[in-house]
Amino acid sequence: MNKQTFLTFLLGRECFAVNVVKVLEVLEKQYITQVPQAPAHILGIINFRGDILPVVDTRQKFNLPSLSIEDKTFIIVYDVSDEANKIIIAATADAVKDVIEISDDEIKPVPEMGISYNVKYISGAVRRNEEFILLLDIEKVFSLSDKETIEALPVTETNEPTIA
């Protein structure tokens, strides 16, 4: 039986999980520099190990109600690189829960049911302790287009940093 390790996190009351292979780091209370004319789902940029990373508002990306920037306490840094492109993106989470192991036979498909976020982002669901955990296909959630969008925006030194 094949097992994989996942990081679980919350967006509102919903629990999501992403394979730890794709997670570089979990950050708390980072300064986010806002970027003029950024799309609504891009909060701004942060410095991560000397690189400038876009920060995606995961709630906005999933069509969930947004929180104020002060309520965003966790940023998860993902490596969604492919053979052709190095893509590292940061995204918000309301809370980070646990690192868990999930066996392949526990993962069930998620039916198309008109939920507010795009089901193509979900690779399956697991039921644990009366709770559903939705497994994210992180390469579909965050893409090269997010990185290209933020790189095309003007960044000025006068932007006031905000805390997320």
CATH topology classification for 3-163: OB fold (Dihydrolipoamide Acetyltransferase, E2P) (2.40.50)
Question: Which pLDDT score is estimated for 159?
Answer: 42
9 φ, ψ (degrees, to nearest 5)? -150, 165
Convert the pLDDT of each residue in 77-129 to its tens digit. Answer: 999 887 888 889 999 999 999 999 999 999 998 876 655 556 778 899 999 98
Q: Where is pLDDT greater, at 111 or 24? A: 24
Mean pLDDT of the chain: 82
Question: Where residue 146 falls among pLDDT bands split at 50, 70, 90?
Answer: low
- Please give the structure tokens belonging to residue 160: 């006031």
The model carries a pTM of 0.81
Q: 52-66, 91-105, 129-143, 144-158: which has the minimum mean pLDDT?
A: 144-158
Distance of CA 151 to the CA centre of its chain: 18
**What's at 163, amino acid-wise?**
I
- Cα dihedral: 41, 52, 8, 66 (round 10): -20
Convert the pLDDT of each residue in 60-76 to its tens digit. Answer: 888 887 776 566 579 99
